[in-house]
Structure 1
Amino acid sequence: MKRRGRWWQWFGSFGWGASLLSLSSLLPCALAADDTPLPEQQVKAAYILNFTRYASWPPATLADPRAPLVVCVIGQDAGDIARRLQSRAAGSHPLELRTITRNEEGDACHALYIGASEKARQGALLARLRDQAILTIGDSTSFLADGGMINLMLVDGTIRFEVNLAAAKRSGMSLNPRVLALAERVLGGAAK
């Protein structure tokens, strides 16, 4: 992955490079202090962390300001991503990581990352979660079409993202407008 744009400070929240300056400084590809590309799973974990920080759930979902925010992951690379998110927090909410294997386990999540290896069953999982306040993040070409909210994708060697705003609204969630402005594409919302 190559260095692009002005976004890499976003990943400073992991201690990888510069400090987090502002959301407007996001970089779709993180670089280590010596400008070497970070592993793809590390970049994805950074995106997932920051999406949880800039998403809003309905008030009843996280009524206790110190309650854990449950982040579930499913797929072949899920364990690596979960390890990279250990001991992190989204605002005042410590992240509680869970690796799930069955669709039914997704009901107990606040955010769910569905790896590309789960493409065959992602449609059924997303249909099950359709009206629940669960931030869904994936990385397959059909993720948004299947009803997912945020899709990670590789563009010119750089990880970028696209958003299905209609899916987020349907579930009662919202995403910070600054995140939407950085998306490659926003479905069901205003154009960039």
Structure 2
Amino acid sequence: MEKLIRYLAVSVCLVTAPIVNAAPQAMEQYTVLAALTLNFARFTQWPEQAFAESGDSLNVCLVGDNVVQQSFESINGKNVGDRAIKIIYADRLRNLTQCHVLFISELAKNLLLQVFIDIKSHPVLTMGEDQDFMDSGGMVSMINKEGKIQLYVNLAAAKAARLNISSNLLRLANIVGEN
């Protein structure tokens, strides 16, 4: 009986080991995506009226799980020009037009169509992490390919939202939708 218990304990440890290791890896990846989001915010220009109702903050809204939210806390309060970043959890998808940057986790890709309808014609920099995001009309996708983050920018979507992304940043990205 003791052997059986030991065997089960070892089996449980082996089966759950990848799950336990996945959480720190996900946290690390989202921390990198948060830093990239900060840099995109620093190198994006919004129309003046985008800040009329939001005071001095640059609102970064998140649609994702707790790992996403915890990772993005690393940029909360950081400065983008003369504005401090304010992290807003947008799980209920309300008031998305208050966002200046909207990061949508791949876990929420079933919500993309509704999100893009809600923010249409508003100057919101949309950011995601997979190809479906770009195909649905997202502006910036940060895709993990073999452990490296590749940047994709949909210029047509950014221009439609009246956003100007720095050419210095665009040199680092794959450009789609240039019309």
TM-score bracket, shorter-length normalisation: 0.7 to 0.9
2: distance between equivalents of 1:186 and 1:127?
23
Q: Which residue of 38, 49, 58 maps to 2:38?
A: 49
Identity %: 27
Tell whether the 8 Å contact from 1:127 to 1:147 is kept in structure 2 after alignment. Answer: no
Match of 1:61 in 2: 50
Q: Please tell me whether residue 120 in structure 1 is matched to residue 110 in structure 2.
A: yes
Q: Which has the higher helix share?
A: 2
1: distance between equivalents of 2:97 and 2:77?
23
TM-score, scaled to structure 1: 0.73
1: distance between equivalents of 2:118 and 2:71?
23
SS at match of 1:117: helix
Q: Which one-letter code corresponds to 1:94 in the other structure?
A: A
Match of 2:131 in 1: 141
2: distance between equivalents of 1:125 and 1:180?
25
1:35-184 to structure 2, matched below 5 A, reads: 39-62=28-51, 67-76=56-65, 77-183=67-173
Tell whether the 8 Å contact from 1:136 to 1:149 is kept in structure 2 after alignment. Answer: yes
Q: How far is the alpha carbon of 1:104 from its aligned partner?
A: 2.5
Q: Which one-letter code corresponds to 1:55 in the other structure?
A: T
Pairs aligned (count): 151
CA RMSD in angstroms comes to 1.9
SS at match of 2:97: helix
Structure 1 unmatched runs, 5+: 1-37
TM-score, scaled to structure 2: 0.78
